[in-house]
């Protein structure tokens, strides 16, 4: 039996796991991205973690990461990673493991994971929105992952949702990520707290400890300030997603990432706003869902799904 | 030699022509859409026009039209056509001509025309924006035309460019079409004329005679009000197109339609605004052009290109 190592590199966490060709995760773990000053250190640490049990059984490695140049399989100018402007991630892992390594944009990898292991098996068109430090999108259109001319498709996080709005890490103004990325959500909460009369559950949290998931959880308990923040996040996300739907008529859109763990509130409110922005004919053709891979190491499965020549076993 | 009849049905004009398999247009003509109270009348008139020279030589008919339901090949609820809510356009032309008829969304047909007869021959990814009464988009991604789950892909005209903006024919607020469709451009000009001090070349034109092309032509001659209108149109169009580029990383975008005949001003100004809205990494990966099919019956060629089993002759 072949085993594969899947690694999902994000701005906050690195998830990795060993997967068999049926998509079963035999081992998984999480590291904090900021604990590593170089990608070499990360590779060495992951090798240590899997070596004892799986070293001789692994046949290939797949990596999902932000800002991947598809031609070179290097990470280029990723605003949320501090390991250098150009990170030759493929070479670094090949040298560390002496195994073939495939690298793909994280959201595209996630989409491939949904296609191979998840709800996307029978869908010609779908998209996945990854909500974390950044905001990403992986699209499958006419049954193929969309990479675009430069491998840069899926920059949902940099759709402008407020002309002349907040400055984004990319340098533009009013990008979705500046409002719906983790930092953006916290910024909105701090802004609203400043103008609130003090009656918010969020006041009990140190401002430096505020996190998007806490804000969403407080909103579920009807905290008024948190509800305003969540509504604003869902309004902006719905606005951006309406563009995707109007342009590409993709019915099934999956959500994944930290804030999707706060129950149904994100999905429900985003869908409400989204429907006000899409062409009326398309209003009842929208199916926004939390992906089931969300609960099962979707980033790891996506990273495995993009391994070149990976063939999934028939899954029951 | 086989001949094909291509028909491009728009809100203002119906262009039709007879084309051989090399893409040469042997005959073409234009009718005014508003001269016909039913699609049956239109079919009969076109039949009269081509019968004497081509009746026995035609082997199939292709039609590009707005709001086509891809399953039924009927036109459904087209806001800019007054021939009934559901127009069984395929059946109407089949009965009139006793020939096989293929029907496709007009912008998708145009994209197929560029792929078969124009600049799209060697491009894996491109899009065409049709600027007329409405604003449409045809996209080719991974070498295939994008239709979406319901054949409704390409609703660029209904991307919201101003939240809480002008009411659109579709019922939503702030759609691109309400600003960049023919009526929207004229509305903007009237609004700006009302607040201008009177020194505009547009004041010499009866308000009821104002047209987008005249406004663009006046802008080319530096008429200040017209320049403001054109800048506003290009700003909104650039904003909407930046969404397409950020999401799909499509480098080559072609423009076609009435206002593209006013020289380079539309292309140049739209590209300028567009580049301010796209992710900085993509700024130099944008190639906005007027399609060469613009001058040569592109709508007719597109309609022919979507005919089922149509195979273009090797074109030199």
Interface mutation vs chain B, best among A248, A287, A288, most B CBs within 10 Å: A248
Of A141, A155, A281, the CB nearest to B246: A155
Contact call for A149 and B244, based on CB within 8 A: no
Q: Is A85 exposed, middle or buried (0-12, 13-18, 19+ CB in 10 A)?
A: exposed
Q: What is the pLDDT of residue B314?
A: 61
Phi, psi (deg, nearest 5) at residue A121: -50, -40
Of A142, A170, A276, the CB nearest to B146: A142
Distances in Å between the Cα of A313 and the Cα atoms of A116, A310, B136 are 10, 10, 43
The residue whose two tokens read 């078969």 is: B116
Q: What is the mean pLDDT of residues B5-17?
A: 94
Q: What is the pLDDT of residue B207?
A: 84
Q: In what order do the strands lie in the sheet containing A86-87?
A: A68-69, A74-76, A86-87
Gap from B69 CA to chain A (nearest CA, Å): 11
Contacts of B133 (CB under 8 A, 6+ apart): B10, B11, B12, B80, B181, B182, B183
Spans of chain A below 70 pLDDT: 314-316
Beta carbons of B83 and B38 less than 8 angstroms apart: yes
B125 touches chain A (CB under 8 A): yes
- The H or E element containing residue B130 is strand B126-131
Of B77, B125, B149, the CB nearest to A148: B125
Gap from B56 CA to chain A (nearest CA, Å): 38
Percent over 70 (pLDDT), chain B? 99
Structure tokens at B174: 């702030």
d(C-alpha B11, C-alpha A312), whole Å: 50
Of A142, A246, A285, the CB nearest to B142: A142
B71 touches chain A (CB under 8 A): no
Helix or strand or coil: residue A14?
A: strand
d(C-alpha A270, C-alpha A290), whole Å: 12
pTM of the model: 0.92
pLDDT band at B230 (very low <50, low <70, confident <90, very high): very high
Structure tokens at A224: 């008024």
Gap from A175 CA to chain B (nearest CA, Å): 9
Contact call for B247 and A147, based on CB within 8 A: no
Nearest to A245 by CA among A266, A216, A276, A221: A276
Query: Which chain B residue shows the shortest CA-CA distance from A244?
Result: B247
d(C-alpha B135, C-alpha A97), whole Å: 53
Contacts of B118 (CB under 8 A, 6+ apart): B254, B291, B292, B293, B298, B301
Gap from A68 CA to chain B (nearest CA, Å): 12
**How confident is the prediction for chain B on average, in pLDDT?**
93
Q: pLDDT, tens digit, for every residue of B27-49?
A: 999 999 999 999 999 999 999 99
Q: Residues 173-232, chain A: which have Cβ within 8 Å of B? A: none
Give contacts of A250 with chain B, Cβ < 8 Å: 148-149
Contacts of A297 (CB under 8 A, 6+ apart): A6, A15, A17, A25, A28
Q: What is the pLDDT of residue A282?
A: 92
Q: What is the pLDDT of residue A77?
A: 84
Contacts of B295 (CB under 8 A, 6+ apart): none
Q: Which segment of A197-211, B182-196, B220-234, B263-277 scores lowest on mean pLDDT?
A: A197-211
Give contacts of B243 with chain A, Cβ < 8 Å: 159-160, 240, 243, 247
Contacts of B208 (CB under 8 A, 6+ apart): none
Q: pLDDT, tens digit, for every residue of B98-115?
A: 999 999 999 999 999 999
Bridge partner residues of B287 (DSSP): B252
Helix or strand or coil: residue B18?
A: strand
d(C-alpha A108, C-alpha A111), whole Å: 5
d(C-alpha A272, C-alpha A276), whole Å: 7
Radius of gyration of chain B (CA): 19
DSSP string across A119-183: GGGG-SSEEEEEESSSEEEEEEETTEE---TTS----GGGSBSSTT-SBPTTS-BSBTHHHHSHH
Q: What is the pLDDT of residue A316?
A: 43
Radius of gyration of chain A (CA): 19
Q: What is the pLDDT of residue A314?
A: 61
Structure tokens at A49: 């973690």
Structure tokens at B224: 């200040």
């Amino acid at each position: 039996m072949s085993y594969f190592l899947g690694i999902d590199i994000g701005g906050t966490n690195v998830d990795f796991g060993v997967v068999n060709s049926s998509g079963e995760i035999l081992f998984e773990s999480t590291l904090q991205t900021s604990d590593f000053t170089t990608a070499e250190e990360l590779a060495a640490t992951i090798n240590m973690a899997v070596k004892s049990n799986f070293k001789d059984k692994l046949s290939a490695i797949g990596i999902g990461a932000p800002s991947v140049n598809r031609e070179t399989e290097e990470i280029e100018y990723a605003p949320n990673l501090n390991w250098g402007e150009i990170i030759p991630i493929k070479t670094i892992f090949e040298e560390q493991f002496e195994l073939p390594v495939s690298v793909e944009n994280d959201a595209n990898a996630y989409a491939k994971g949904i296609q191979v292991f998840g709800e996307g098996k029978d869908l010609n068109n779908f998209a996945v929105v990854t909500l974390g430090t950044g905001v990403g999108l992986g699209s499958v259109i006419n049954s193929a992952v969309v990479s675009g001319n430069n491998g840069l498709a899926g920059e949902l996080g940099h759709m402008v949702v407020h002309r002349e709005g907040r400055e984004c890490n990319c340098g533009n103004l009013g990008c979705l990520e500046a409002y719906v990325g983790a930092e953006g959500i916290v910024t909105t909460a701090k802004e609203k707290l400043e103008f609130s009369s003090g009656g918010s559950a969020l006041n009990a949290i140190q401002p430096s400890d505020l996190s998007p998931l806490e804000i969403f959880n407080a909103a579920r308990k009807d905290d008024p300030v948190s509800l305003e923040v969540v509504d604003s996040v869902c309004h902006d996300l719905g606005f951006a997603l309406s563009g995707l739907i109007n342009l590409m008529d993709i019915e099934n859109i999956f959500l994944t990432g930290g804030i999707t763990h706060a129950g149904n509130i994100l999905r429900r409110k985003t869908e409400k706003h989204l429907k006000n922005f899409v062409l009326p004919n398309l209003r009842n053709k929208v199916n926004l869902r939390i992906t089931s891979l969300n609960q099962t190491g979707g980033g790891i499965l996506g990273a495995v799904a993009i391994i070149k020549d990976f063939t999934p076993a028939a899954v029951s």
